[in-house]
Amino acid sequence: MKDFDFEVLVVGSGAGGSMAAYELTKAGHKVLMLEAGRDYDPKTETPMFKRNGEAPLMGAGNSDKDFGFYDATVDGGWSVPNEPYTAAENTEFLWWRARMLGGRTNHWGRYSLRFSEHDFKGKSRDGLGADWPFNYEDIAPWYDKTEALVGVCGTNTGLDDMPPSSDGVLQPPPKPRITELLIAAAAKKLGIPLAPMHRAVLTRPLDNRAACFYATPCGHGCSIGAAFQTTTSLIPMARATGNLQVITDAMVKSVDTDENGKVTGVSYVDKKTSTVHQLKAKVVILAASACESARLLLNSKSTRFPNGLANSSGQVGKNLMDSTGANIGTMVPALKGRPIYNEDGHTANHLFIPWWGHKAQERKELDFPRGYHFEIGARFGEPGAGLQGDFQGYGADLKRQVKHNYGAYVGFALRGEMVPNEHCYMDIDPEVKDKWDIPVARFHWKWSEHELKQIEHGLKTAKAIFAEMGAEVGELPTPEQAILKGGEIIHEVGTTRMGASPKDSVTNQWGQSWDCPNLFVMDGGVFASNPHKNCTLTIMTLAMRNSSWLSAQLKQGAI
């Protein structure tokens, strides 16, 4: 990069890093992006239309490809070769990583729900966790800009958990499926509304990206660019400005500082040659994912910063949050043998169950502080390695059972907000290092009563909805049995949280570290709380807003 005189160095090419690069390069700043994984081109590498039967093990997941053979994740999943992480004794945490250009945006669920005023001010309401250092009105215009750029389908529902987008921002959502319509009627009888999901999937063409053609699962990646990933959108758009250069297979080891504590650049390992390189930069933006960025800061120790960089508050690695998760589902007799049609749609929820309990929480009717939503899994899916149903016998009768059950299974996936607690955090393992000689992250985890009560409520609610559909889920598991593991929902955030004061937060509202003005964090690490609504849209929105602010600072000579 000798001939490329860049101003800003971005670590990570996922949701946050790519949005930062897009916004800054568009504003005329030269940006160098480092990505720890390999180069990746969805246009040539996405297994579009491939059938499960063409894949080893009918596409089933395993320790090489946790979410199935065709999942877009490269060199990652719950484990990354040669790059372990650890968990403290008696705790368990799962950490999903990708080592590829575009990071986890190549595989994510694309659910894109705005946080609301309610979400940003949880502590003011119930005294738990932390407030965000801005109000919903401050970020609302940036949500509009991000949704318009990314392309989000959905509608303004008027529900209190779904703040509206400005007119013309959202693209039209696809029609609901039969299963979703049945659930909607059953839930409505219990006073629970369903609503069109907001999803970063184009239903109308945008820029060089085609509209969805309602086939081939989004988790495989999307070569036509309908399902948003940075490798078909923000990265090529930023490159087109001529202001972006990218180095892949570049694993950043430390953020470097001078004797005055000013950030001077980074050191990274070129994975192809196993050599360490130093790069100088005026500004460094960390967007390596919440836990990878926190790991990097904790590993960037110096005499001036003995506890790690940007950590005068002691909050780096703390406040680790995931979404709560639980699954519940069963065969719905009324759906057996129903007429078959193409139910792929955009291959995920057309309708979902948003959180409906704000008023009940205000009235103190619920014994848990924060909300959740249900995602729905119920459609005529492509046959794969697992068939739903309790089948008996053999021959023609057996096949009739399979066909009769096809499309009759309904599954609910709960996704809820957790409250940060002192037992959930990450630090650096004092003994274990990865292949690149970088000390690894060590996780600590424990759900609190807030989450367990929420899961209990969710399971009971789901059971009641199933009952209205004439389906019996049987005896419910305990919340301890039902709650998924920390990290398993892949919404880990909070490890470099933003706040109003350098005493208890790592960055200000612009993602600028309190300790080093030319160091920014633009991934999920800056979240002050973790609303139940899937973090990626807000990561991108913050990265856009904060990069715009950074650009103004650079132009004014303030940084």
Partner 1 sequence: MVKDQNNTTVDQQEMQYKSGMTRRDSLKLMMALAASALLPAALTGCDNAPVSNTDAGIGAAKASTEHWPELKLSPITATGYGKDPNLILPPESPWPLTLTQAQLTLVAVLSDILVPREGSVPSASEVHVPAVVDEWVSAPYERQQQDRVIILSALAWIDDEAQMRFGKTFVALTKAQQKAIMDDIAFDTAETPAQFKRIAEAFSRFRGLVLAAFFCTPEGIKDIGYVGNVPIGGDYPGPTKEAYEHLDKVLADLGLTEYAYPVQA
Contact between 99 and 38 (Cβ < 8 Å): yes
Residue 374 CB, nearest approach to partner 1 (Å): 15
> Residues touching partner 1: how many (CB under 8 A)?
84
Phi/psi at 282 (nearest 5 deg)?
Answer: -75, -40
By CB under 8 A, tell whether 152 contacts partner 1. no
Tell me how crowded residue 52 is: count the other CB atoms within 10 A of its CB. 18
Tokens of 60: 């089933």
Residue 92 CB, nearest approach to partner 1 (Å): 17
Q: Which of 205, 377, 384, 477 binds partner 1 (CB under 8 A)?
A: 384
By CB under 8 A, tell whether 524 contacts partner 1. no
User: How far is it, in rounded angstroms, from Cα 366 to Cα 430?
Assistant: 42
Question: What residues from 301 to 340 belong to the interface with partner 1 (CB under 8 A)?
Answer: 334-335, 338-340
With a CB cutoff of 8 Å and minimum separation 6, the contacts of 301 are 307, 308, 309
By CB under 8 A, tell whether 174 contacts partner 1. yes
Question: What residues from 347 to 366 belong to the interface with partner 1 (CB under 8 A)?
Answer: 351
Q: Which of 47, 102, 225, 371 binds partner 1 (CB under 8 A)?
A: 47
In the bound state with partner 1, the residue whose beta carbon lies nearer, of 220 and 295, is 220
By CB under 8 A, tell whether 176 contacts partner 1. yes
Residue 74 CB, nearest approach to partner 1 (Å): 5
By CB under 8 A, tell whether 376 contacts partner 1. no
User: How far is it, in rounded angstroms, from Cα 93 to Cα 74?
Assistant: 21
Question: What residues from 395 to 424 belong to the interface with partner 1 (CB under 8 A)?
Answer: 395-396, 398-399, 402-403, 406
By CB under 8 A, tell whether 345 contacts partner 1. yes
User: How far is it, in rounded angstroms, from Cα 310 to Cα 523?
Assistant: 15
CA quadruple 46, 174, 469, 417: dihedral positive or negative?
A: positive
Binding window for partner 1 (CB under 8 A); candidates: 46-54, 243-251, 285-293, 316-324: 46-54
Contact between 31 and 306 (Cβ < 8 Å): no
Alpha helices in 121-195 (DSSP H): 122-126, 136-150, 178-189
Question: What residues from 51 to 70 belong to the interface with partner 1 (CB under 8 A)?
Answer: 51-58, 60, 62-65, 69-70
User: How far is it, in rounded angstroms, from Cα 555 to Cα 548?
Assistant: 11
Question: What residues from 184 to 243 belong to the interface with partner 1 (CB under 8 A)?
Answer: 184-186, 188-189, 194, 203, 212-216, 220
By CB under 8 A, tell whether 341 contacts partner 1. yes
Q: Which of 148, 385, 440, 452 binds partner 1 (CB under 8 A)?
A: 385
In the bound state with partner 1, the residue whose beta carbon lies nearer, of 351 and 438, is 351
Can you name the residues that pair with 199 across neighbouring β-strands?
111, 153
User: How far is it, in rounded angstroms, from Cα 170 to Cα 204?
Assistant: 10
Residue 535 CB, nearest approach to partner 1 (Å): 24
Place of tokens 């985890």: 445
Question: What residues from 456 to 485 belong to the interface with partner 1 (CB under 8 A)?
Answer: 468-470
Task: Give SS3 for 293.
Answer: helix
Tokens of 136: 């919903």
